[in-house]
Structure 1
């Protein structure tokens, strides 16, 4: 098991960026999870504040933790702060640097609070990149916070009017109509968390859309004690999703080979 701190030039941000990566022992190839931090943290927080390294070792997966600043993982409309693009280029960087399995069947995204919102948004927007989403205590309704002058970062990253392309409720609705395979989704939140209503509304929204997902509430608040207790479940969800996606892909290949049309060829 190795824990690496990587400084690299980000074309999306036009500056140097930081990335923490947990790499298990062995030759690989490895499945990978991209773990996003919250508003007041950085790329080191997951490793410092939880047992994520121990769980990554247990499941034999790479965990990559990029620095998202206070961006809500958005592309700012009038500046070089393009953090959505930065996460996507980080995926390409990790694939170049490590022996990973390319494709959504072997790649997941997760996060907490701001990072939970980022995981939902990026996972729903890019189903050909990420095949599973695990969001803890996510700030789901960014429309409400966009109107709050206490968060000046939001106007910078979203512009004066909150765009539909950043609304995870709208993205979930759009994903139902998409022909692309939808990522598997897991959401959890503490019952005493101030964002519990956001998560309950998303749960109800996904139910109304008929989108299968896991939703769980546990005792706890919006803090590291809660996230440390539940990161193991989230990583296990990704690993199970990888296995299910791989099995489904193999069944599809066998079905195509066994079809009458394939037999004629």
Structure 2
């Protein structure tokens, strides 16, 4: 696997931004085009966070996928209440930049999007909203109900410790107060109901049996919503908590799902 970095001044964000692009060993700039998997980090992560996964390099090579690692810090890859336009950046800039710079399958059938926690939720939001861009979703412990959150449901876990879950202040900086237009726009259950059936997607969901009860509950509710909406999906609960050890253990399954469903030219 080879790791490259693409950097440009983003018109959507208003400053220089970078993404990591992982190329499988058999990648070639000519000949057969390669499908692409976009992987989104969790809350507070960055474009290097996924590189800590021990299995990543082996799986990129064996699956033959180009993997793209963008970043949004704590902004959920959405156009948020502060006016930061990370959805426009991801969908309107990053995808086109990757297709222009690399030998990729430049169509929805060759693009998947996945992520962990914040990134897992954002991946589903973006595929539901932009079915013309992505056809496959792979979510690990997706925090799907962020737009529905009220207060700080994780307060009892903090106890002076640094917890990788946003405080009420951090959360509302992105999502706005309860009832905001941003929250309504990204309501995940509304997105499932209102999706454009012209662009079918397939979804892989998993969550750890030792994760926060709230996280397990929202993943089960999302599974039910996808089933009610006739969205093809695979759902798994497996050992692990809300951490990168859980993600790493599930990577072979995630890559197998993505690779089996993405078109190769």
C-alpha change, 1:35 and 1:101, in structure 2 (3 Å) is same
Q: 1:56, 1:146 → 2: CA distance?
A: 38
CA contact (8 A) 2:202 2:231 kept: no
Gaps of 5+ in 2: 153-165
C-alpha change, 1:141 and 1:26, in structure 2 (3 Å) is closer
Helix, strand or coil for the counterpart of 1:163? helix
Aligned length: 242
Deviation at 1:40, TM superposition (A): 2.8
Helix, strand or coil for the counterpart of 1:153? helix
Residue among 195, 200, 225 paired with 1:205: 225
Residue among 84, 87, 90 paired with 2:87: 84
Deviation at 1:11, TM superposition (A): 1.1
Larger Rg: 1
Residue among 139, 161, 175 paired with 1:158: 175
CA contact (8 A) 2:147 2:184 kept: no
Q: 1:211, 1:31 → 2: CA distance?
A: 22
Deviation at 1:5, TM superposition (A): 2.4
The answer as to 2:10 corresponding to 1:10 is: yes
Q: 2:63, 2:108 → 1: CA distance?
A: 18
Q: Deviations over 1:179-215 (max 9, x none)?
A: 4222111100001111111101111122222322110
Residue among 193, 198, 202 paired with 1:184: 202
Q: 2:230, 2:198 → 1: CA distance?
A: 16
Q: 2:55, 2:49 → 1: CA distance?
A: 11
**TM-score, with normalisation over the residues of structure 2?**
0.86
Deviation at 1:78, TM superposition (A): 4.3
Residue among 136, 155, 164 paired with 1:132: 136
Q: Relative contact order (alpha carbons < 8 A, sep ≥ 6): 1 or 2 greater?
A: 2
Q: Deviations over 1:209-258 (max 9, x none)?
A: 23221100101101111100111211111111115xx79xxxxxxxxxxx
Gaps of 5+ in 1: 248-265
Between stretches 190-199 and 160-169, larger displacement belongs to: 160-169
**TM-score, with normalisation over the residues of structure 1?**
0.86
Q: Deviations over 1:35-69 (max 9, x none)?
A: 00000321101112342121011011100000111
More helix by share: 1
